[in-house]
Amino acid sequence: MTATAQTRQINWWRVGRWSAAAGLLCVPAIAMRYTSEVDWTASDFVVMGMLFAAILGAYDFLASRAPSVAYRAASVLTTLGLFLLIWLNLAVGIIGHEGNPANLMFAGVITILIGGACIAHFKSGGLARTLFVAAAVQLAVGVIALAGDLGIEGRGWPRDVIVLTAFFTGLWVTAGTLFRMSGRDAG
């Protein structure tokens, strides 16, 4: 069979991921037609579209490099966690409300995740260390918020900070452990 006659294999999981993201982006547009509680601007749709594209692009990149199931699972947890951390801070804020400047501390976690992954050249051992550092910083941000009563004006204070700090810290540790396992499997 010639190269032109060969058909390219379709990755249905990839098509499904990107289609689901497009579908999720349509939900607020539909909801705005039926309720006044959802009020997105054009910039909200652009930001969310860019966030979906960046996170799904990052996952596709990591998945294409995956030497093992553990690496792929860690990639899912890392990109999903990164999406949730950014989305929660943009939508409602973790510390207090979305306008609380204390939420900017989470930019440190995001910078560590992205910068550490690049510095590690996306290799398992370096990614594991990056995730463990991100977990420590995530925990430190939560402790600082609680100790300084930052976000006390929030309706869910201090429960939101405690629960989400535990969730994200656990997520980063789990992903880091999976990356470490992947490195041992490959080496």
Structure tokens at 155: 């309706």
Domain that holds residue 29: 10-40
Q: Is the domain of 20 the same as that of 100?
A: no
Burial class (CB in 10 A: 0-12, 13-18, 19+), 129: middle
1 part of a folded domain? no
Single pTM value for the model: 0.88
Same domain assignment for residues 23 and 71:
no
Tens digit of each residue's pLDDT, the chain (187 residues): 555 545 678 889 899 999 999 999 999 999 999 999 999 999 999 999 999 999 999 999 999 999 999 999 999 999 999 999 999 999 899 999 889 999 999 999 999 999 999 999 999 999 999 999 999 999 999 999 999 999 888 888 999 999 999 999 999 999 999 999 998 866 5
**Are residue 15 and residue 52 in the same domain, yes or no?**
no
Q: 74 with 166, same domain?
A: yes
Distance of CA 27 to CAs 24, 33, 45, Å?
5, 10, 11
Q: Does 148 map to a domain?
A: yes
Model pLDDT, residue 9 = 82
Looking at the structure, do residues 21 and 86 belong to the same domain, yes or no? no
Give the residue among 95, 117, 110, 67 at the shortest CA–CA distance from 163. 95
Say if 176 falls within a structural domain.
Answer: yes
Q: In terms of C-beta density within 10 A (0-12 exposed, 13-18 middle, 19 or more buried), how is residue 157 classed?
A: middle
Q: How many domains does the chain have?
A: 2
